[in-house]
Structure 1
Amino acid sequence: MRHLSLVAVNIDGVLLNDSFSPVMRRLVESRGGTYSPRLERELLSQPQLAAARRAAAELGGSPEQLLRDYFAEREAYVREHPVHLLDGAAELLATLRSLNVRTVCYGGLERAHFDRHLGRYADCFDAPGYVCTNDFRPGIHEITELFALRADQVLFIDDVARVAEAARDNGVAFIGHPADSEHDFQRQMMIEAGARHIVGSLKEIDETLLRTVDGEAVAGSVWR
């Protein structure tokens, strides 16, 4: 890579299947709420308690109880839909290693989630390997600062438009990998945010695309 020094890759929804937004939809609709683009935007990539407070404002009840109910619902969901590595994830990590760029994983759960599902790929990441962003989501500024880099030296790969918006506002390169479902709203939100690169498969994030983004970072044109 000529310019980019770090690629930060989201864990759930990029490397692993999304086991969060389907549960959010199920919980909202089971309580008589409407799962709208506005509500999804206000729930995803937020600190857990902040999202619970927003959900409570919509559905009633206490945020703390909603959060407990949410994780109980997620446990049931992952029994039906086990957490697994997405197609193309291993290839993406191998490509990043071949480009000699630092790579870190991040997400809203504690490190044990990373160790359990991605521990066998630990060598593909640079120290600290995984960053839990629950206390400072979406984490664009904090992860960039953690590696002592400028905004234009970092690329984020994420499935949530809120992260795209934060990347845009900070001048950070971004590749979107929204869920491939007619019931999800993130792709359209990423388009509206001005994301230049939105993929439907991790296999699209190949060396050619990564070098294209690297060239845009050199030119200062990572955003439209």
Structure 2
Amino acid sequence: MTGPLRRLKAAAVNIDGVMLNDTFSPVIHHFITSRGGRYSAETERRIFSQRQADAAVVIAEAAGVDWSVERTLEVYFQERAEYLLRDPNRLLAGAVPLVGRLRGLGLRTVCYGGLDRSHFDRHLGGHTGLFDPPGYVCTNDFRPGVEEIVTEVFGLDHDEVLFIDDVARVGEHARALGVPFIGHPSDFRHGFQRQLMREAGVRHIVDSLDAIDEALIRTLDEEAEAGEVWSPQTVAAVG
């Protein structure tokens, strides 16, 4: 496994659920179920990787509360702050080496997510040098952001940018655009992202960031070069 990659030129790595632990699924689940609502795969599909205002409408509906978007977000972020006191944001094992591998293979690499830049600076500020400019892309205004990151941030073709995310909806958009994608679903026990990724046809699903090794990245590069990133084959699940 030597030599430059043939097709991939850049990578986009999600912040929450890839670089950092998943602190959204548990809070959303508790918000809904603690108020008597039902939490399902469809609930996650309609909430995850959506604009905050759009997600708030679905969260309130699922929880059975007749609240405004502003009130829903206020209570949600208050409950999330309380959750973070018990289980703070932290770098996931293998996150920093992963970015190092991507950069080492010549990929321009950025981080992205739905929260504003301060979230990145607070938790990854000490690792800013790992990423290429602009470092972090807030996608709240254009969720899930696949098209915009590929064409506006990188100025590349769709099959030249590798996305790594914990949400199936991002994979669905990647598939529609022909963008290489690796899924890293949360291990939250009430979550449905692994199931939704399989339903979306995600071919590469990993349980750990260490599994996104040079061999797997080169496999995605070969698939991109051959135009087979999303060809109909059995979904690949690696450790």
**Do both share a fold (TM > 0.5)?**
yes
Matches within 5 A, 1:56-205: 56-58=60-62, 59-60=64-65, 61-146=67-152, 147-205=154-212
Q: Could you tell me which residue of structure 2 aligns to residue 6 of structure 1?
A: 10
Provide, for residues 180-200 of structure 1, a one-character-per-residue CA deviation record: whole Å limited to 9, x for no partner: 233110001101111110000
Aligned-CA RMSD value: 0.9
Find the residue that maps to 2:205 and give its secondary structure. Answer: coil
Find the residue that maps to 1:57 and give its secondary structure. Answer: helix
Identity %: 58
Shift of 1:116: 1.0
Shift of 1:142: 0.6
1:154 and 1:172 in contact (8 A); partners too: yes
Specify every segment of 5 or more residues in structure 1 that has no aligned partner in the other structure, as ranges: none
Cα 1:181–1:19 shift into 2, 3 Å: closer
1:55 and 1:63 in contact (8 A); partners too: no
Are positions 1:37 and 2:44 aligned together?
A: no
The count of aligned residue pairs is 224
1:47 and 1:108 in contact (8 A); partners too: yes
1:86 and 1:221 map into 2 onto residues whose CA distance is 30
Provide, for residues 56-78 of structure 1, a one-character-per-residue CA deviation record: whole Å limited to 9, x for no partner: 23322222111100000000001
Q: Could you tell me which residue of structure 1 aligns to residue 237 of structure 2?
A: none
Find the residue that maps to 2:203 and give its secondary structure. Answer: coil
Find the residue that maps to 1:163 and give its secondary structure. Answer: helix
2:49 and 2:170 in contact (8 A); partners too: yes
1:66 and 1:211 map into 2 onto residues whose CA distance is 43
Q: Which amino acid aligns with 2:36?
A: G
Taking structure 1 as the reference length, the TM-score comes to 0.98
Find the residue that maps to 1:135 and give its secondary structure. Answer: helix
2:21 and 2:89 in contact (8 A); partners too: yes
Provide, for residues 144-184 of structure 1, a one-character-per-residue CA deviation record: whole Å limited to 9, x for no partner: 11211110111100000000000000110000000123311
2:83 and 2:39 map into 1 onto residues whose CA distance is 18
Shift of 1:114: 0.5
Q: Which amino acid aligns with 1:18?
A: D
Find the residue that maps to 1:198 and give its secondary structure. Answer: strand
Find the residue that maps to 1:103 and give its secondary structure. Answer: strand
Taking structure 2 as the reference length, the TM-score comes to 0.92
Bigger drift between 88-97 and 132-141 goes to 88-97
Shift of 1:19: 0.8
Find the residue that maps to 1:217 and give its secondary structure. Answer: helix
